[in-house]
Amino acid sequence: MEPFSQLEEEIFAITQQLWEVEEYLKSQKGKCRADERPVDNQTFLRESQEELRAHLRLLEDKKLSTSIALAVDSDRLVLAALAREEAQASDDRRLAIRLSEKNDDADLSATDSDVEQPQAACEPQASDDDCVAGPSMTFRERQAQELEKIAATETRCSVCYESYFAHKVTQLKCKHTYCDNCLKDLFLRATKDSTLFPPRCCREPIHLESAQLLMSETEISEFKCAEIEFSTTDHANVEQSSATSVAYAGRRADVNCGPKID
């Protein structure tokens, strides 16, 4: 049961009890003469009434704090998703700017070459021995080199060995890195296979929060249902194994307790 729902049920139960006590005390007003002392039961009920009111205030305060905590947690997930989108957009902009700068440099080099060509035609041809400059890089070669530099700043996934920008990978406690696709696939496979549940790396369990932003609401719901199902199955298997061990031990005791033959 969710903590918030449990609080609401407790508040409803306390409110109902408080209402019943108040109704009973109202019904008893005026039934005692002036020279009679109030019945001990009424005194006890008034004390219970104060305790119920105090407990109700405590539960309502706890409900308010829980509601605030849930709102903050929900905002945290939304802000994290927005941050990932902004980081990806920023990386795309930087890549576009770098490629645009390289294109401008290539166009400028081509223009300078066209301007200098007529002047070179008027000058005497140099011999092959005088030409010592090596071949210049083409635009495609420079573009490939720039992409290699960008790739060097990326992080490699420990599962598929593909390289991704930092916001596309998650580093676990064991220092292994998972790309978004591999991490999500791990959780989806664990949902359908009890031997893979809970998802883990280096024998360390991976919490749902690590992949929650990558999964749909349906996938998250299926994962939580599988968690309940697999934990219940494991508990039943343990109880069955314990019962089998006790029965086997009893049969051995019956055999060993037979009469001795001298």
Q: What is the pLDDT of residue 56?
A: 87
Share of the chain above pLDDT 70, in %: 61
pLDDT tens digits for range 153-193: 678 999 999 988 888 899 998 999 999 999 999 999 999 99
- The CA distance from 221 to 212, in Å, is 11
Give phi and psi for 238, each to the nearest 5: -65, -45
pLDDT tens digits for range 82-114: 777 777 777 777 777 777 776 666 655 655 555
**DSSP helix/strand/coil, 169:** strand
Q: What is the pLDDT of residue 32?
A: 59
Q: Is residue 68 within 8 Å of 4, Cβ to Cβ?
A: no
**DSSP helix/strand/coil, 13:** helix
pLDDT tens digits for range 34-87: 545 555 677 888 888 888 888 888 888 888 887 777 777 667 767 777 777 777
Report the alpha-carbon angle 140-141-145, nearest 5. 115
Q: Is residue 186 within 8 Å of 167, Cβ to Cβ?
A: no
Smallest CA-to-CA distance from 70 within 140, 5, 126 is with 5
Give start and end residues of each alpha helix (H) in the chain. Answer: 3-28, 40-122, 139-152, 180-192, 217-256
Question: What average pLDDT does the structure give for the chain?
Answer: 74
Report the alpha-carbon angle 155-156-162, nearest 5. 125
Give phi and psi for 204, each to the nearest 5: -100, 125
Report the alpha-carbon angle 108-111-115, nearest 5. 140
Q: Is residue 201 within 8 Å of 176, Cβ to Cβ?
A: yes
- What is the residue type of 155? T
Q: Which residues 6+ apart lie within 8 Å of 190 measured at CB? A: 196, 197, 198, 199, 223, 226
Report the alpha-carbon angle 59-65-71, nearest 5. 135
Smallest CA-to-CA distance from 146 within 113, 112, 106, 108 is with 106
Q: Which residues 6+ apart lie within 8 Å of 219 measured at CB? A: 187, 188, 191
Q: What is the pLDDT of residue 52?
A: 86
